[in-house]
Structures are given as structure tokens and as C-alpha cells.
Amino acid sequence: MEVGESPDDFDEVSKRARQGGLAVLFPSPESEPLETADISGVREWLVIDGTWRKANRIWLSNPWLQALPSYHFKVPPSSVYRVRKAPREDSLATAEAIRHLLQLTHPELDLGPLQCGMDALVERQLANMPVEARRHHLPPSTDGSF
């Protein structure tokens, strides 16, 4: 894991990028659909974490990232992270994107624990919200309960 925003923050990983084998999971205008791409040469994946605004700023501020092969999901799964705002209907939380990436690239892995962790995170966040705020994130019930 690397933490930073500007190119100076990523000296080590940008050196590895020049050696080849790195790819970025990021839905840019130049990215290819992961499901149909030849990713046989990818040894390591970079996934940008942060709000959509922050992730886009990191992407735009780091030309070395933009020079790497980049991929997006042609058909992403539905997000279960309903407690956050997303810019698009098909947006995923970083953990969901990583889970789907692993599902596509390593179908033999048991990814149940990642899904359970995501479900627990959402339930915990909902449980800690005031009732009025929680109403915005839950489907309407037929019996009037939450």
C-alpha cells in the first residue's frame, strides 16, 4: 500500500511501473474493459482509493499512472455500499472493486470473507446513524419499520 497524491509520493511504485507488469484498475476514458482484455502480462494491480474526487485528482496528478495499462469493469456488480454517494450508478467502493477484480482474475479464491466484511461495514454504519438519516439508505418497508 502506498499513501500519497503527487508523483513525489510514489517514487518507489513508479520505479516498479517502469519495469513493466503493473496495471491500474481505474475507469478512465482510455481504460479497457477488464473482462475482454488480455491481462496475461499483469503481475501487480494498482487500485486508487479515496473519494471519487480524490481518486480522480490522484489519477490526473500522476502522468506515470496514466502511462500504465488501465482497465475498468464492462459489467460491474451492483454496489452494496449504499451509505455513500456515488457519482454514477455503476460506482463501486474500493473494497468492492478489489473483490470483483479478484473474482475475475482468480476465480478459485474464496472471496466470501471480503463480502462479509463489506456487509458488516454497511450494517455497522447504518446502525450508528440517526433514524432520519438511515431512512435515506434503506428501501421502504411494507410494515412501517426500519
What are 30-49's pLDDT values in tens digits?
999 999 999 999 999 999 98
Rounded (5°) CA angle 45-46-47: 115
Please check whether residues 57 and 104 belong to one and the same domain: no
CB 73 within 8 A of CB 34: yes
Residue 90 forms part of a structural domain: yes
Residue 142 forms part of a structural domain: no
Please check whether residues 97 and 119 belong to one and the same domain: yes
Q: Residue 98: give the domain boundaries.
A: 76-130
Rg (the chain; Cα; Å): 18
What backbone phi and psi angles, to 5 degrees, belong to 32? -100, 155
CB 134 within 8 A of CB 126: yes
Please check whether residues 57 and 107 belong to one and the same domain: no
pLDDT digits (tens, 9 = 90+) for 71-116: 999 988 776 665 556 555 667 888 888 989 999 999 998 878 877 7
Residue 144 forms part of a structural domain: no
Cell digits for 54? 480524490
Instruction: Count the neighbouring beta carbons within 10 Å of the beta carbon of residue 76.
Output: 18
